[in-house]
Amino acid sequence: MILVHGITDDGLCWLPVARALPPQYDLVLMDMRGHGESDAPQDDGYTLDNMASELAAGIRALQLKKPVVLGHSMGAFNALLLAGMHPDIPRAIILEDPPPFWKPGHPSPETDASRASLAEWILGEKRKTKDELYAEVRANNPGWSGEAQKLWVDSKLRFNPAISQLVNPFDPGRVDIQKIAGRISCPAAFISADKSLGAMSGEEDIALLKQWIPQLENHHIEGAGHVIHWDRFDTYMKALQNALDGFAMGK
């Protein structure tokens, strides 16, 4: 399995999930460009389709054969693009609350403003001290474990500000997402949560994606927001294992 993190996180943020998975899984916790210990080129390559191609190149360089690809947020969208742009690579994909860039109306003035705000947050995190980051995560996510809070803080100290290019400017129209999604032939699962608690994709978003990926199975987790694997860890692991079991059974 390849585990692909969200924006400003990195591969080590998956450690609790990796430890909880059965030992028969060989796991690769990937650092995407500008995150963790990966290179951070100061070029214009900070686009989701380019990162999906880099993910494909990393899988081929490691000579991995038909891995399951699990992604969260940005990483989930990378996994989605990977499966459509390089359908020969993944055995299956699992998407944990990706941003619904496949919706009509992207980009729009509202999404432009939202991306500018997110870019400013990213740059603002780099100006904070470690103590300030701890204060932020404890205030915003008091239900996370101490380890999850530490991993979140550590990842914010490691990412490069160049990753702000991913969100501002960003034009989802660079790629035909509907066409790419229609090429996905591998098994696919979606792990969703509550939009009222901060999840990015809702029922209508998932239903639209399922029109192009009819084999997509949704596993909804109540009481979780965007970072489902830290908000409701035990429930998340059960949903993840159910998805993996479904792949093994050929669903």
The model's pTM is 0.94
- 168-193: pLDDT as tens digits: 655 555 778 899 999 999 999 999 99
Instruction: Give the burial string for 203-230 (b: 16+ CB within 10 Å, else e).
Output: eebbebbbebbeebbbbebeebbbbbbb
Confidence of residue 51 (pLDDT cuts 50, 70, 90): very high
Name the token pair of 48.
């989701």
Confidence of residue 124 (pLDDT cuts 50, 70, 90): very high
Q: For position 87, what pLDDT does the model report?
A: 96
- 86-114: pLDDT as tens digits: 999 999 999 999 999 898 765 554 555 67
Name the token pair of 243.
């998805």
Structural domains of the chain in order of their starting residue, each with its CATH number: 2-106+175-248 (3.40.50.1820)
Contact 103, 205 (CB under 8 A): yes
Lowest mean pLDDT among 18-32, 157-171, 231-245: 157-171
- The residue behind tokens 């980009």 is 107
DSSP strand pairing (68-72 vs 2-4):
parallel
Q: For position 143, what pLDDT does the model report?
A: 95
Q: For position 106, what pLDDT does the model report?
A: 54
- The residue behind tokens 């500018």 is 116
Amino acid found at 62: L
Q: For position 16, what pLDDT does the model report?
A: 97
Residue 43 burial (C-beta neighbours within 10 Å; 0-12, 13-18, 19+): exposed
CA 84, CA 140: separation in Å to the nearest integer?
A: 35
Q: For position 167, what pLDDT does the model report?
A: 84
Q: For position 128, what pLDDT does the model report?
A: 97
The mean of the pLDDT values for the chain is 92
Q: For position 44, what pLDDT does the model report?
A: 83
Which helix (H) or strand (E) segment holds residue 4: the answer is strand 2-4
Contact 186, 70 (CB under 8 A): no
Name the token pair of 25.
């899984």
* Residue 68, pLDDT above cutoff 90: yes
- 198-207: pLDDT as tens digits: 999 999 999 9
The stretch 102-128 carries a mean pLDDT of 76
- 202-226: pLDDT as tens digits: 999 999 999 999 999 999 999 999 9
3-state DSSP assignment of residue 72: strand
Lowest mean pLDDT among 158-172, 182-196, 216-230, 237-251: 158-172
3-state DSSP assignment of residue 23: coil
Residue 44 burial (C-beta neighbours within 10 Å; 0-12, 13-18, 19+): exposed
